[in-house]
Amino acid sequence: MKTISQRIAEELSVPEHKVQAAILLLNEGATVPFIARYRKEVTGGLDDIQLRTLEERLHYLRELDERREVILNNIRTQEKLTPELEASINDAETKTRLEDLYLPYKPKRNSKAKLAKEAGLEPLALALLEDHTLVPEEAAASYINADKEIDTSEKALEGARHILIEKFAEQATLLEDLRAYLFANAKLTSKVIEGKEEKGAKFADYFDSQESLKTIPSHRALALFRGRKIKILRLSLVVEEDDYFKQKIAAYFNIENQDWLLETVDLAWRFKIRTHLEAQLLTQIREKSEAEAIKVFGSNLHDLLLTAPAGQRATIGLDPGLRTGVKVAVVDKTGKLVDTATIFPNPPKKQWQQSIDTLVELARKHQVELISIGNGTGSRETDKLVTELLKAHADLGLYKLVISEAGASVYSASKLASNEFPDVDVSLRGAISIARRLQDPLAELVKIEPKSIGVGQYQHDVNKTQLARALEAVVEDCVNAVGVDLNTASASLLGRVSGLNAGLARNI
């Protein structure tokens, strides 16, 4: 059995000692950017891309090995672990293969097959499978046992059939072949659940749709799974060559012309194996789509964090609102808060001109150069207000920009914001964030949990742990690619620098 470091070394095509050195550093808490920059001599020059891949594979393979150990211990406890089975389990390179091998030994509830075995019908089932010359009704006669509620040959055969169906459905190699063929040839279909047409109107494109399982784009797959999750859509796999699977199962057990066994194969496929494989493949597609979506979210976040900064210019931040007013915050060129206000240009107060006058007064007082407008509710009205201000007061030399305010409200109510602005009302903190993220997007956005920044359409549908881990890695890479200004950087930003921890960042 190969070690984790051997497997990763083969996948990355690098010497194993480099992988071992990198794993040791990761175990000690070192970040990928830190290792890539400051420990090149230890890892033999592994770059950040190789290290990110190594980190991801290390996490997966450790989970795989933990599950492998649990499975081996469970089978060992049952006293059914043979050298051959142990070797197969140790050689399993995916979680799917591991679970396939474990199926026959997985503790089961009181299934019909389990009850049939307890009634002593397993020898009958195995005999019928091995000797095709047996007449099922005649072979079953000797297994009639009134004490076990097996009072007819038909009941004995029914129990034997349940045992064989379970056996057919627990062959790892067979399942692997059937799964691969089903994945390559099946179509993913969706149907609207009766009576949900009106409630699920936004899923209308998927009320009766069909697409190749193998090639469906991740965004459409995630839309289908969202529809299923909220009970609007029913998903299933459709495959035309249904007989192929039955023939494959029959051939695996050398069944040719024995009608009773062929009927058992048919039932095993339709009611056991197909259901099992369909559930597995749908899970596989969902996980694959989530992984692709997370990559897109990471790319979007990367672009957002590395948006060109406006630089050190005094800025007014406007957090738009209608009834509750537009929150105003003025920060100087270093990002320090110097003034706040609330204006009410919209109904019900309609203080349009008074709002413009307030902004002009703040701009003159603090020598403001930029106006940053959040793109939330009331953004158009606020943009119109500022446009009118710029025309009427061209002498101020102001420039405006509408920016994403995603995550500003999350930051406003955070402990970090409370510590940074203890005496500022929570409703005004969002305007401060909006002003600062125009000056330096990276420095401000690192204060917000990455998943709250709004970097993808289905980010709330994907695995939260994997998303958080991926987005944190993007933030880490961006900060260390750009660097920070030590004179103005917050503790949040400094804490992302390679080699600095949160405590040291706060002290600086």
Give the position of tokens 């249904």. Answer: 242
State residue 457's pLDDT score: 67
- What is the CB neighbour count within 10 angstroms for residue 149? 10
> Alpha-carbon distance 225 to 134, whole Å?
48
Q: Are the CB atoms for 244 and 181 separated by under 8 Å?
A: yes
Which of 249, 285, 286, 282 has the alpha carbon at shortest distance from 268? 249
Q: Where are the domains of the chain?
A: 4-105, 112-300, 315-439
**209 pairs with which residues across the strands?**
190
Q: Which amino acid is at 173?
A: T
Higher pLDDT, 460 or 70: 70
Least confident piece of the model among 192-196, 327-331, 491-495: 491-495
- Give the CA radius of gyration of the chain: 32
Kindly provide the residue ranges of all beta strands, DSSP E only, lying in 12-137, ordered along the sequence: none
Residue 26: name the closest of 1, 52, 49 by CA: 52
- Give residue for tokens 């709004």: 454
Q: How far lies 376's CA from each of 124, 389, 402, in Å?
A: 71, 20, 10
- Cβ neighbours of residue 469 under 8 Å, at least 6 residues apart? 59
Cβ-contact 12, 52 below 8 angstroms = no
Q: What is the pLDDT of residue 329?
A: 97
Cβ neighbours for 281, distance < 8 A, ≥ 6 positions apart = 179, 182, 183, 186, 213, 237
More confident residue, 280 or 34: 280
| Nearest residue to 326 (alpha-carbon basis) of 431, 416, 455 | 431
Nearest to 369 by CA among 403, 333, 328: 333
CA distance 482 to 426: 30
pLDDT at 468: 82
Q: Give me the pLDDT at residue 486, please.
A: 82
pLDDT score of 279 more than 80: yes
The larger pLDDT score, comparing residue 485 to residue 352, is at 352
Task: Tell me the C-alpha distance between 479 and 47, whole Å.
Answer: 17
Token pair listed for 250: 């029959």
DSSP assigned state of 150? B
- What percent of the chain clears pLDDT 70, i.e. is strictly above it? 99
Instruction: Output the six-digit token pair for 80.
Output: 């059914």
Number of Cβ within 10 Å of residue 461's Cβ equals: 18
Mean pLDDT, to the nearest integer, of 29-37? Answer: 87
Q: Is 483 left (phi over 0), alpha (psi -120 to 50) or beta?
A: left
Contact criterion met (CB below 8 Å) for 200 and 227: yes
Lowest mean pLDDT among 59-68, 121-130, 207-216, 302-311: 302-311
Query: Quick one: CA dihedral 96, 99, 101, 104, positive or negative?
Result: negative
Q: What does the pLDDT average to over 76-91?
A: 95
> Is the per-residue pLDDT at 422 higher than 70?
yes
What single letter denotes the amino acid at residue 118?
A: E
Give 481 or 383, the one with higher predicted confidence.
383
Is the domain 4-105 a CATH 3.40.50.10860 member? no
β-pair type (370-374, 337-343)? unpaired
Contact at 8 Å (CB) between 406 and 370? no
Domain 112-300 and domain 315-439, same fold? Reply is: no
Class of domain 315-439: alpha beta
Answer with the residue of higher pLDDT: 68 or 451.
Answer: 68
User: Taking every pair of C-alpha atoms in the chain, what is the biggest distance, in angstroms?
Assistant: 105
Alpha helix locations (H) across 393-463?
408-412, 415-420, 426-439, 441-445
Of residues 506 and 432, which shows the higher confidence score?
432
Both tokens assigned to 252: 């695996």
H-only helix segments in 151-273: 153-168, 172-185, 218-229, 242-252, 259-268
Q: Which pair of tokens denotes residue 196?
A: 């949900």
Q: Which two tokens stand for residue 378?
A: 């009331």
Specify the pLDDT at position 407.
84
pLDDT at 408: 86
Chain length of the chain: 508
Per-residue pLDDT tens digits for 454-503:
776 667 778 888 888 888 888 888 888 888 888 878 888 888 887 787 78
Cα–Cα dist 369/315, whole Å = 6
Which CATH number does the domain 112-300 belong to among 1.10.3500.10, 3.10.20.30, 3.30.70.3040, 1.10.287.90?
Answer: 1.10.3500.10
Residues 6 or more apart whose CB falls under 8 angstroms from that of 258 comprise 132
Mean pLDDT of the chain: 92
Average pLDDT over residues 289-308: 90
Are residues 12 and 53 in contact, defined by beta-carbon separation less than 8 angstroms?
yes
Of 269, 90, 91, 300, residue with least CA distance to 179 = 269
Q: What is the pLDDT of residues 97-130, one digit of tens each?
A: 999 999 999 988 888 999 999 999 999 999 999 9
pTM for this entry: 0.79
Of 9-13, 131-135, 459-463, give the lowest mean pLDDT range: 459-463
Residue 137 has pLDDT above 80, yes or no: yes
Nearest to 54 by CA among 88, 99, 22, 16: 22
Query: Residue 414 phi/psi, 5° resolution?
Result: -80, 160
Q: Is 446 helix (H, G, I), strand (E, B) or coil?
A: coil
Single-letter amino acid, residue 407: G
